[in-house]
Amino acid sequence: MRYLVFDSSTGEVTKILECPETDVELNVEGAESYLSVDDFPGVDPSNSYVAWSGVEYEVHEKDLLNTLVEIDGLVVRMPNIASGSKLVITDDPFAGDGFAMGEHVVADSSGVEIEFDAPGTYEVRIYPPPQYRDEVLEVTVG
């Protein structure tokens, strides 16, 4: 049997298990729950999340984030990014606002603004809430 294990408080899919039903609970921790997904062969953590319908948990396909990127000199703005998205700059150890390679910022309801210290092309990885697909953007500033 194939099972989708998810965080019941966020809907984030944490893993897919292939095991007998008797072994599923041995692989579920804390706030995690699980669903049988034998009827959904394409389900995986990168493209699926779980939501409560009011009656039961349901598997849904993640939406595209479709981030609007505005660039003004060395400043990058993302006004429509989903609140709670984590942005990580992966290419540049000298990014502005105290962001070093691997550091991150979390978007709120007003979006995100990042100011870089130098012109160049930077990779920004976006890890949004579970109902959206992760996104990687390349931005050129300066």
Q: From residue 108, how far is each of 6, 50, 96, 125 by CA, in Å?
A: 24, 22, 19, 16
Q: What is the pLDDT of residues 89-107, one digit of tens each?
A: 876 544 444 455 556 889 9
Rounded Cα distance between 142 and 131, Å, is 33
Element (DSSP H or E) covering residue 22: helix 21-24
pLDDT at 140 over 50: yes
All structural domains of the chain, each given as residue ranges with its CATH number in brackets, are 2-61 (no CATH), 70-141 (2.60.40)
Average pLDDT, integer, range 104-131: 90
How confident is the prediction for the chain on average, in pLDDT? 88
Q: Which residues of 59-94 are buried (b: 16+ CB within 10 A; e: fewer)?
A: beebeebebeeeeeeeebbbeebbeebebbbeebee
- Confidence at residue 101, expressed as pLDDT on a 0 to 100 scale: 53
Structure tokens that stand for 99 in this block = 């962001």
pLDDT at 76 over 60: yes
User: Does the model's pTM come out above 0.85?
Assistant: no
Under the banding of pLDDT at 50, 70 and 90, the label for residue 67 is very high
* The residue to which tokens 């990580």 are assigned: 88
SS3 call for 135: strand
